Structure 1
Amino acid sequence: MLDLPRADHVGSLLRPDALKKAHRAHMDKKIDDAALEKVVAECITDAVRHEEQADLRFVTDGEFRRGSWFLGFVESLSGIELKKAELMFRLGGHEATWFGPVVTGKLSRKHPIVVNDYRFLAGITSRTPKVTLPTPSILHFFGGKEGMDPKSYKDRDALAEDLCAVYRQEIDELYRAGCRVVQLDEVALALLCDESIRASLKASGEDPQQLTDFYFDTIALALKDKPADLAVLVHLCRGNYKGHWMGQGGYDPIAERLFALPGVDGYLLEYDSERAGSFAPLRFLPKGKRGYLGVISSKTGALESIDQLRRRLDEAFKHAPEDRLGVSPQCGFASSVGGNPITEAEEWAKLGRVTELARAVWGTN
């Protein structure tokens, strides 16, 4: 098994102006595919250099090849469309429009999802490349009541069979290409810890506990054939759009099952505000798995002090052994091209603070 670092990050990074301008020019047909790829490659290479300078052992491409954390996945599958969905939550208390993935036909993988992204990343760094994918719940939870075509799938279990087969195929190709770290981004399970969201689901005729069970089962099914020496991390997210959040509530309702998920080696956990609840659920984190405490915020540019962060970690150590824990930012810096209210300089300072904190606490990052 790969030796996991003490410091990690969720993966997405603020899109540089050059990257956004190039995508706009490409959409307006002012530059061709080759010209766009040149800019994308340059921006990813520059981001990786910053990650290396921050002394991160796992590096990502910042998700620069996709418009948001889930779009690259959706665009790689047949049988999916993006449609406006009726949501049961708001963004930080504000109304928001969401275009969620809706299953309109039989699911299949049109082409590799992040395999080529991995190959490019592996070719420009001596650090360990990490790729990110959304968890299977993205194709069920966010589509609303009309999220699954009954002509294509008689029930959600039938959907899960085809969907998880896509994950197993992608993971197999990634592994054969040399990838040894995959991160799955999970939002639905974190939001199902929010009592107001659970109440809204009940009012709409859904059973929140059945949904919770289903999403855990799909992750396990997706990882069923995972090689033993492939590290899989799961990031729990309560929403991350322009500094706004979607849900709140501690991990207590899901912690015991979350930390027992087969095939999962580590967890990136949001812990930058009281919305995340207490550290008490960490008592379920077993030996052999690592919990990364997201005590550094990606939603604000204010740089947390080492002393402040160490006090937070001291609280966590009361609930889980120090050797089972690590640190990270609470979320990515830009789950979508819209980013967060933070500058690139602040972003790099925070990533440097993550590794600095790890060295201060564990003597290594």
Structure 2
Amino acid sequence: MTLFRAIPPFRADVVGSYLRPDYLHEARRQFAAGAIDQAALTAVEDRAITELVARQKAVGLRGVTDGEFRRSWWHLDFMWGLQGVEKALLERGYRFAEMETRPETARLTGEIGGSGHPFLQHFAFLQSLAGADAVPRLTVPAPAQFFKELHRPENLASTQAIYPDRQALIDAIAAAYRTFIAELYAQGCRNLQLDDCTWGMMVDPRYNNAGIAAANVSQADGCCSHGEATVISDSVEALALELLQVNNKAIEGAPADLVITTHVCRGNYRSTWAAQGGYGPIAPFLFGKENVSAYYLEFDTDRAGDFSPLAEVSGDKLVVLGLLSSKVGELEDKQAIIGRIREATLYLPLERLCLSTQCGFASTEEGNALTEAQQWAKIEHIVEIAREVWGDAP
């Protein structure tokens, strides 16, 4: 048996987003101020992505992304690119443990469609840089994430005006994603990652998980339990079944050689977090029944609980252990990480495990509180640990 992997996920892997270089931040500021046009901004983005892909390959990564450098948000930019969706402002942003985000959202203006998405061009440029020695990966928000965004209190009236029936909304979202996936595949994509915070929020009792909104409570009051003690309620179970349905319907019929994975965390904004709680309550749904090839899972702190829910991972699906933190620059102890990988093998064999950070380095354009040098040192650390644990596997 070999532990080398020729297809994603790879033993040393990434979630997707990277810190933007200073010159890209400056170009975006100039564009917002009207000092440069879209063509000039795109040229700067092209330069930054070209440099990024070269750096990813140089440190030994086989799965490469564009760092989400053309986006402001990890999720909203994709939603804004769908038909029937507009960019809208709110009174308040998403609430994190120590701060609040920009108050932006995606709101329905008509029926949802997924053809001709701008991300197709984004992927085409990434693909042109990947070459034969790397696999270009596109990251997009999961259908469940879009479903929950449309049920924020400020968006609910617009959503229900167009889709008064929840099942009709689920069907429309899934159909739009299937259209997008088909067009993306035709362009050559063979690795798609669905980023999905809905499951990480669902295990935190401070959130209203009836699919409507987050509870208006402090994100730092410590009221939430760690580990696997949280019990899933009837309303949360109903939501879990809805989210499972929309995600599975969206990827139904996808080509067999398109590797579709998903990433789950508990929030990642400027090195802060939004939720806490172990995977236990949602493991039978997410790990047992979602039809993806692999899970990129947050495990860098005890807010994510222990490894025991991994016993629910069905079939031959893989798990990418997010054991290193993208929120801080300090390097984790190598032997401690190796020890945790060995601990995870109590529930899944080593050949079904890989290694990454718990999330990207810049889920929004602001980025986390570490330097680019620390970011790359962290990735080199992952590659070094992976080689020690899995041999010569990339």
Normalising by the residue count of structure 1, what TM-score does the alignment of the two structures yield?
0.93
Partner of 2:349: 321
Judge conservation of contact 1:287–1:324 (CA < 8 Å) in 2.
Answer: no
| Aligned-residue offset at 1:137 | 2.4
Report the alpha carbon displacement of residue 72 of structure 1 after superposing the two structures with TM.
2.1
- Following superposition, the deviation at residue 202 of structure 1 comes to 10
Unpaired segments ≥5 residues, structure 2: 217-233
1:132 paired residue number: 139
What are the residue-to-residue correspondences of 1:1-150 with 2, within 5 Å? Answer: 3-4=7-8, 5-81=10-86, 82-84=88-90, 90-92=95-97, 94=99, 98-109=103-114, 111-126=116-131, 127-142=134-149, 143-148=151-156, 149=158, 150=160
- Shift of residue 103, structure 1, vs aligned partner: 2.4
CA offset digits 1:224-263 (Å, max 9, x no partner): 1111111011000210001111100011111122123353
Amino acid aligned to 1:254:
I
Change (3 A) 1:155 1:86: farther
SS at the partner of 1:197?
Answer: coil
1:140 Cα deviation from its structure 2 partner: 3.0
Structure 2 Cα separation of the partners of residues 85 and 250 of structure 1: 31
For residue 292 of structure 1, give the secondary structure of its aligned residue in structure 2.
strand
1:186 aligns with 2:196: yes
Amino acid at match of 2:75: F
Q: Distance in 2 between matches of 1:45 and 1:325?
A: 30
- Structure 1 counterpart of 2:81, one-letter code: S
Q: Percent identity?
A: 38
Aligned residue number for residue 227 of structure 2: none
C-alpha distance in 2, partners of 1:232/1:199? 26
* Unmatched segments (≥5 aa) in structure 1: none
Cα distance change on mapping 1:242 and 1:25 into 2, 3 Å: same
1:326-361 Cα distance to aligned partner (Å, 9 max, x none): 111100100001111010001111111111111110
1:341-356 correspondence runs (5 A): 341-356=369-384
- Conservation of the 8 A alpha-carbon contact between 2:14 and 2:360: yes
Other-structure match for 1:156: 166
What SS class does the counterpart of residue 281 from structure 2 fall into? Answer: coil
Q: CA RMSD in A?
A: 2.3
AA matched with 1:255: A
Q: Secondary structure of the equivalent of 2:162?
A: coil
Q: Is 1:274 aligned with 2:302? A: yes
What number of residue pairs does the alignment pair up?
363
Quick one: distance in 2 between partners of 1:177 and 1:94? 39
Match of 1:293 among 316, 321, 330: 321
Aligned with residue 310 of structure 1, among 328, 338, 348: 338
CA distance in 2, matches of 1:110, 1:176: 12
